[in-house]
Chains A and B, each alone.
Chain A
């Protein structure tokens, strides 16, 4: 393989070791690598409780993994259980990214998730150390001394190498650093037979590859790329590049997706069986999604509804839920959108118990002016429009719960309890 035409940069993919658990350990004066601590969310809809993060020792000693259930965690006095504080983790993430900005220009820093960032150090590497490992070490120490957190660093000549180095090498390395280059890539990656461990390969793709007789990354690298592409489409070509450690993406030219959309969904705290209760939550989510869209001065020409059934409520034909989409006249009026959603729901629901509801708005366009409908009272339409905007303003100024529909107080409403959550979990004490 001739790599001379490929980009040869220096990318660092930095991730925080058990981020939430580490932050909580540091707050309690414990060493993140030694503490046996788990962050457990006890929000309504997590059932008995859900482990959001477990410290490395908790994972090692008790085999607790993230997303374990409360009942899977042993009742042991040595395990320290703490509630999540999402706002605190966001603050820490910002603090970490602020440190990264001292090593790369703003344009070369790409936060990837709440605890992962990609640093393109191609231009600034020489300022901070002789070898890539030295630069990585320096950043690690800096974060350890300033915030008390341990970070794992994957180094690569392009982003995908950095990501694989992080996932497959750094996490098991004593120094928490892994490095892949075009040169050592075959030696390090090709022997991997558990394909699901490799970033971007899920269990469906892995099964597909197995069916094609591809049982290791080495196999993947030695198939005929044209045949693979024929079999799997675009993804086939991408997987082939992955097996050779090739990534030509240019982050500076990342284009936002053409068609944006707004969506909200939630898992319900229990199985909902009564139609009025389900519709109540549907209204709340519809209201919330529409309000988000209105903040961006957009209107939707298409609505979609997702209803997930409870485990025992699966339809006779084995469906686990229903997904329907419908085109509507472009609008940003919550009442209209909610009416359409409820209609869509009534047309398709056959009495199954429901555990999951989602609403999506797409085919967006700018809502600069109100398109009056010829067949309705114009005064009424203008009033409806103003009404929505006043509610939005009230909520912006005085909080999400400043005005709520009285129906949200009825049995089954989830809006009030969810208002204080961040990403579906406890945000932490409000004025710390």
Chain B
């Protein structure tokens, strides 16, 4: 594993996917989305599953928190998560920056 030695990106991604599995029940007329929040106050990245449905309250369920401010680590975790789910990802509070590895805009 590259990046910071203490964080195993593969395991983090697996953990997120394992918590996602029971929550993503694929109901009709329901929007599911993964929110990835750059929390500047805690220097962590938070993952949430956001569920919207017409005439229902929006729900947001915490999936995991990654204790790093290193975008490279996050990028690898995201790649891992994307390999297991096709849900839309919504990046919050990242500003106008590019991913360090792929050089694409974060959005």
Q: Enumerate chain A interface residues (CB-CB to B < 8 A).
A: 26-29, 73, 75-83, 85, 146-148, 428-429, 432
Contacts and interface: CB of A to CB of B under 8 A. Distances in A.
A80 B58 contact: yes
Contacts of B61: 82-83
8 contacts: A26-B41, A27-B62, A28-B48, A75-B56, A76-B57, A80-B57, A146-B41, A429-B63
Contact of A77 (B38, B42, B58, B63): B58
Contacts of B59: 80-82
Interface of B: 19, 35, 37-42, 46, 48, 52-65, 92-93
Contacts, number: 61
B56 A26 contact: no
Nearest to B15: A431
A75 B64 contact: no
A78 B55 CA distance: 10
Contacts of A147: 41
B92 A28 contact: yes
B56 A80 contact: no
Contacts of A29: 37-39, 92-93
Main secondary structure of the interface of A (DSSP, over half): loop
B58 A81 contact: yes
Contacts of A76: 57
B54 A28 contact: no
A137 B106 CA distance: 36
A83 B62 contact: yes
Contacts of B56: 75, 77
B92 A77 contact: no
Nearest to B19: A429
A77, A148, A432, most chain B CB atoms within 10 A: A432
Nearest to B60: A82
Contacts of B64: 429, 432
A76, A83, A429, most chain B CB atoms within 10 A: A429
Contacts of B92: 28-29
B40 to A, nearest CB: 8
Nearest to A38: B57
A147 to B, nearest CB: 5
Contacts of B55: 75, 77
A143 B42 CA distance: 12
Contact of B37 (A28, A75, A81): A28
B57 A429 contact: no
B54 A77 contact: yes
Nearest to B41: A148
Contacts of B35: 28
B35 to A, nearest CB: 7
Contacts of A81: 57-60
A27 B37 contact: yes
B46 to A, nearest CB: 5
B106 to A, nearest CB: 14
B7 to A, nearest CB: 13
A243 to B, nearest CB: 42
Given A28-B37, A79-B58, A80-B57, 16 more contacts: A27-B62, A28-B48, A28-B60, A29-B38, A29-B92, A73-B57, A75-B56, A77-B57, A77-B58, A80-B60, A81-B57, A81-B58, A81-B60, A429-B64, A429-B65, A432-B62
5 closest A-B pairs by beta carbon, nearest first, are A29-B92, A148-B41, A29-B93, A432-B65, A29-B37
Nearest to A78: B58
A81 B61 CA distance: 8
A26 B39 contact: yes
Contacts of A146: 41
B58 A85 contact: no
Contacts of B41: 26, 146-148
A28 B46 contact: yes
Nearest to B94: A29
Contacts of A75: 55-57
A92 to B, nearest CB: 9
Contact of B62 (A78, A148, A428): A428
B6 to A, nearest CB: 14
B53 to A, nearest CB: 8
Contacts of A73: 57
A77 B37 contact: no
